[in-house]
Amino acid sequence: MHNNLTKQLLNAATQTAQSLQKSLSLLNIAELCNELASDVLKQKYQPSTYTRFAVCDPKLREIYAPAYRDRLLQCWLVNQAEPIISPHFIEDSYSNRIGKGTLYAVKRVQQLMRRPNNNYYLHLDIQNYFNSIHRPTLLNNWLTLLKKHAPHNQSLIAYVSSKILLQNVAQSAYIVSGSRALLATIPKHKRLASSPPDTGIPIGSASSQLFANLYLNPLDHFIKHQLKIKGYVRYMDDLFILGNSAKQLLAWKQQINQFLTTQLKLQLHPKKQHLQLCRQGADYLGYKVYPHYLHLRSRNIKKLNNYLRFFNQLLTSNKQFSFIPNNAYWQSIIEQPLTIDYPLLKKMEAVINSYLGLMKHANHYRLRKLIIEHHFYTLNHYFVPSNCAYTAVHVKKQFLHQFIQTHP
C-alpha cells in the first residue's frame, strides 16, 4: 500500500503546474512523496502553512496557496475523486471538467438562446461563493457519494478529504506574500477570515475547485429534475437560465433561492441578477453572447490595448508608464535594467496570444487586423502575424537565432 501511494504521489508531481516551490522540491521529490505517503497511511498528516496574497486579474481576489507538499496530496485527492464525482454532474455543469471549459459553456448558452421558446434569460450569481461554502455539508455530501461508489481505498480517501476540507485555513498560521497594500483593499466581507465558523474554502487549491463544483450539484439536479428547466447552464457559481417569459423566470428564481438557503446555506447575489431578452445579448464569461454571434467584452479588449501600450513603452525604454500590469513578473521587469531578448519577447507573445485566442472565437476578424496593423507600433519590429486571420502572432525568427548564438 505504501509503495502504491508513493507512486501515485509521484505521478501527481508530474501534473502540478510549474512553480518555484516545485523547482526547489524536485531534487528531493522521491523522499518527499515517500514521507507524505507514510504520514497519510499512519494518519499523522497535517496540512502545512498556506501563503496568502491578492490578485487583480480578472478581479480582486484573496488567494491561499498551499505548500508544495499539500499541493501534491490535493492533486492525488482530485485524481481519486474526479472519476467518482464526474458521472454525477449534469451535462450542462461546466468549469474544471475535461471538455467543459469556458468556451463550451458560452457555445451552449448561445445554442440554447436559439431555441424557439427561449425568449428571455436570467443570469444569477451566488454571493461570496467560496467563502460561503459550509464545509461539514460539503464533506458529508462527498462522503455519501464516496460510500455509494466505494473504491478499494475508500477509508484513505475519506481521511485525506476530511483533513483538507475541514481545515480552517484563514484561522491557521499563514505566510503573507506580494503586496500587503493590495491585500488591505479586499473588503472585509470578501476575506476568508470573516466567514462564519465551519464556513469557507480557499481559492487557490486544486481540491477547492473540484469540491466547490460538487457543492452545487444538488442545485443542478433540483433545477433539472424538479423544476424541469430545460434551458440551464452552470459555470461554477454562475447560473444561466432561459425560458419563454420573464414571469416564469422570476418564479424559478424564488424557488432556486429557497433551495440554496435551506439546503446549502447560500444566498443569491442581490445585485448580480440580470433578466433580459435573449436578442439583446448577455455578458457571459468574458463574451457578449447573442443567439447568432459572439463579441469579446469591451473590458477584455481594453485590457489587451493596455498591455500593448505597456509593451510598447517598455520596448522604447519609456518609463512613463500609463499602465502597469498587476503581475509580479512585469513589475520586476520595470524595476531593473531592461534586456530585450527572446525569453522576454516570448512572455509578451504569450500575453498577446491569450487575448487574440479569446477573440478568434468571436466575430472579430476586422478588430484583430486593426489591432495588429495599427496598434503594435514598436512591437511590429519584433512580432509578425502567424496567419492571415490574425489569430496569433509570433516572435520574428531573427531574435530566436540571436538568442541561440549568444546561448550555445
Please indicate, yes or no, whether residues 284 and 307 belong to a single structural domain of this protein.
no
Q: Which of 290, 318, 352 is the last residue of a domain?
A: 290
Please indicate, yes or no, whether residues 96 and 11 belong to a single structural domain of this protein.
yes
Return the pLDDT at 24. Answer: 62
Answer whether residue 20 shows pLDDT above 90: no
pTM summary value: 0.86
Which stretch of 37-51, 67-81, 145-159 has the lowest confidence by average pLDDT? 145-159
CA atoms within 13 A on the CB side of 316: 15
Please indicate, yes or no, whether residues 91 and 20 belong to a single structural domain of this protein.
yes
Q: Which of 290, 318, 346 is the last residue of a domain?
A: 290
Domain that holds residue 319: 293-406
Please indicate, yes or no, whether residues 248 and 327 belong to a single structural domain of this protein.
no
Q: How far apart are CA 355 and CA 371, in angstroms?
A: 11
DSSP-H helix ranges across 118-215: 129-132, 135-148, 154-165, 180-184, 206-215
Q: What is the mean pLDDT of residues 398-407?
A: 84
Q: Which three cell numbers stand for residue 268?
A: 443569491
Q: How far apart are CA 363 and CA 296, in angstroms?
A: 8
Q: How far apart are CA 33 and CA 106, in angstroms?
A: 40
Q: First CA to last CA across the chain, in angstroms?
A: 46
Q: What is the mean pLDDT of residues 270-275?
A: 95
Please indicate, yes or no, whether residues 110 and 247 belong to a single structural domain of this protein.
yes
With a CB cutoff of 8 Å and minimum separation 6, the contacts of 292 are 110, 114
With a CB cutoff of 8 Å and minimum separation 6, the contacts of 179 are 53, 54
Please indicate, yes or no, whether residues 44 and 17 belong to a single structural domain of this protein.
yes
Please indicate, yes or no, whether residues 253 and 302 belong to a single structural domain of this protein.
no
Q: Count of domains in the chain?
A: 2
Please indicate, yes or no, whether residues 382 and 280 belong to a single structural domain of this protein.
no
Please indicate, yes or no, whether residues 136 and 24 belong to a single structural domain of this protein.
yes
Of the candidates 9, 16, 14, the residue with the CA atom closest to the CA atom of residue 31: 9
Please indicate, yes or no, whether residues 272 and 331 belong to a single structural domain of this protein.
no
Please indicate, yes or no, whether residues 282 and 297 belong to a single structural domain of this protein.
no
Please indicate, yes or no, whether residues 239 and 303 belong to a single structural domain of this protein.
no
Q: Which of 259, 274, 290 is the last residue of a domain?
A: 290
Contact 210, 87 (CB under 8 A): no
Which stretch of 13-27, 49-63, 74-88, 171-185 has the lowest confidence by average pLDDT? 13-27
